[in-house]
Amino acid sequence: MLDVRKMELLRELARLGTIAAVAQAQFCTPSAVSQQLSALEREAGVKLLRRSGRGVELTAAGADLADRTGAMLALLEEAEAALAAHRTELTGELRIGAFPTAVRTLLPGALVRLGAEYPRLELRVTELDPAEVPDALRTGALDIALVHEYDYVPAEPDPAIMTQPLLAETIFLAYSAADGRGGERYATDAVSAIETVSAIENGTDPVLASSTLPWIAATPGTLCHLMAVRLCQAAGFTPRIRHYADDFAAVLTLVAAGQGVALVPELALADLPDGVTLAALPALRRTLIACRRGAAAHPAVVAAAAAIRAAAADYLDVTAPHRPASPASERRRAQPPSNRL
CATH code, domain carrying 60: 1.10.10.10
Choose one of 33, 62, 83: the last residue of a domain: 83
- Indicate if 65 and 79 belong to the same structural domain: yes
- pLDDT of 116 higher than 80: yes
Residues comprising the chain, all counted: 341
Work out the pLDDT band at 72, boundaries 50, 70, 90: confident
Alpha helices in the chain, H assignment, sequence order: 4-16, 19-26, 30-44, 60-84, 100-105, 107-117, 133-138, 193-201, 206-209, 223-234, 248-256, 299-319
- pLDDT of 183 higher than 80: no
In a domain, 105, yes or no: yes
CA dist., res. 288 & res. 123, Å (int): 20
Contact 77, 292 (CB under 8 A): yes
- pLDDT of 249 higher than 50: yes
Convert the pLDDT of each residue in 134-176 to its tens digit.
989 988 899 999 999 998 888 778 888 999 999 999 999 999 8
Report the domain count for the chain.
3
- Indicate if 33 and 135 belong to the same structural domain: no
CATH code, domain carrying 129: 3.40.190.10
Convert the pLDDT of each residue in 295-316 to its tens digit.
999 999 999 999 999 999 998 8
- Indicate if 219 and 277 belong to the same structural domain: yes
* Beta strands across the sheet bearing 161-176: 121-127, 92-98, 144-150, 276-292, 161-176, 262-265
pLDDT of residue 239: 95
CA dist., res. 250 & res. 242, Å (int): 14
Convert the pLDDT of each residue in 30-55 to its tens digit.
999 999 999 999 999 999 999 888 88
In a domain, 133, yes or no: yes
pTM: 0.78
Distances (CA, A) of 73 to 33, 86, 233, 243: 19, 21, 41, 43
- Indicate if 105 and 72 belong to the same structural domain: no
Convert the pLDDT of each residue in 258-284 to its tens digit.
899 999 999 999 878 988 999 999 999
- Indicate if 98 and 31 belong to the same structural domain: no
pLDDT of residue 341: 65
pLDDT of residue 322: 61
- Indicate if 278 and 297 belong to the same structural domain: no
Choose one of 29, 49, 83: the last residue of a domain: 83
In a domain, 145, yes or no: yes
Convert the pLDDT of each residue in 190-210 to its tens digit.
355 666 667 777 778 899 989
CA quadruple 243, 228, 285, 273: dihedral sign:
positive
Range of the domain at 21: 4-83
Choose one of 55, 83, 111: the last residue of a domain: 83
